[in-house]
Chains A and B, each alone.
Chain A
Amino acid sequence: MVMGTDTKCIAARVENLNGANEFVEECADLFGLPAKKKFGLLLALEEAFVNICSYAYLDGDGDVEISCVAGEDSLVLEMADRGKPFDVLSLPDPDTTLDIMDRQVGGLGIYFIRTLSDGVSYRRENDRNILRMEFRRSRENSP
């Protein structure tokens, strides 16, 4: 079993998504995350990454530190930025029942993270926002 932490620091720009994706996909493959969970992991990665690119550094450039922590049964993805304090989990879930003309996409990203991960939490640590998302290898899906 492979255990340990892999970290990559990437400039917070949307065009760097592919690089972030490759890094996390490699971690998922090394860990042996099942395909369905890997899909959830990579979707969560994009949503968190794009959020940081869009909102964390409104006054200039900054980085995203991406860590994959391989545990016994779960792979934990942590995304850290040095933007102003912001808990993305404070956003309300979107109304997924509205008609096409009234439908907004804001808030959908974090809703995907909540739905597809096996646990998500936010913490502010050393002037950084850190979003922690857990993906279990085993089948059961806890809320």
Chain B
Amino acid sequence: MEIQTRNEANATVVTITGRLDAVTAPEYEATVQQLIAGGSIRLVIDFAGLDYISSAGLRGLLVTAKLLKAKGGLVRFATVEGTVKEVFDISGFGSIFQMDATVAASLAALA
């Protein structure tokens, strides 16, 4: 998995590519916790390059979203597609997160 972050006008975009699994989820959690600690509490997670997610990956998303919510922050998930979308749907996670078709749509929703 690779993680990249960039700051946009009204949010920080976190791009994750590859696999979000039991091996890589801790790195995702650490990165997002660092962002939150640094005061970035409006996040857009871009899933376009993510090929695979497991329950450990979902746990990482949930842990960080709860942390963000406790800090009064907001998170939106962009471009959740294909098999990753299927895992979201089976788990019911698709209905507990705010999802958008594109990063631009997520940014617009946070504006």
Q: Which residues of A contact B (CB under 8 A)?
A: 14-15, 17-18, 36, 39, 42-43, 46-47, 50, 53, 94, 96-101, 103, 105, 108-109, 111-112, 115-116
Contact = CB atoms under 8 A, between A and B. Distances in A.
Contacts of B55: 47, 50, 105, 108-109, 112
B62 A15 contact: no
A50 B62 CA distance: 18
Contacts of A108: 55, 58, 91
B69 A112 contact: no
Contacts, number: 64
B87 A112 contact: yes
Contacts of A111: 90-91
B83 A39 contact: yes
A17 B25 CA distance: 13
B63 to A, nearest CB: 9
A114 B29 CA distance: 27
Contacts of A14: 22-23
Contact of A100 (B21, B56, B66, B90): B66
A115 B92 CA distance: 13
Nearest to A54: B22
Interface string B12-44: 000000000111000000000000000000000
The DSSP consensus for interface residues of chain B is helix
A86 to B, nearest CB: 18
A47 to B, nearest CB: 6
Given A98-B92, A100-B96, A103-B96, 5 more contacts: A39-B86, A43-B52, A97-B92, A98-B96, A112-B87
Nearest to B63: A105
Contacts of B92: 96-98
Contacts of A99: 96
A97 B93 CA distance: 9
B62 A109 contact: no
A46 B22 contact: yes
Interface string B45-73: 00000001011101100100110010000
A43 B23 CA distance: 13
A105 B54 contact: no
Nearest to B95: A97
Contacts of A94: 91
Contacts of B54: 43, 46-47, 50, 109, 112
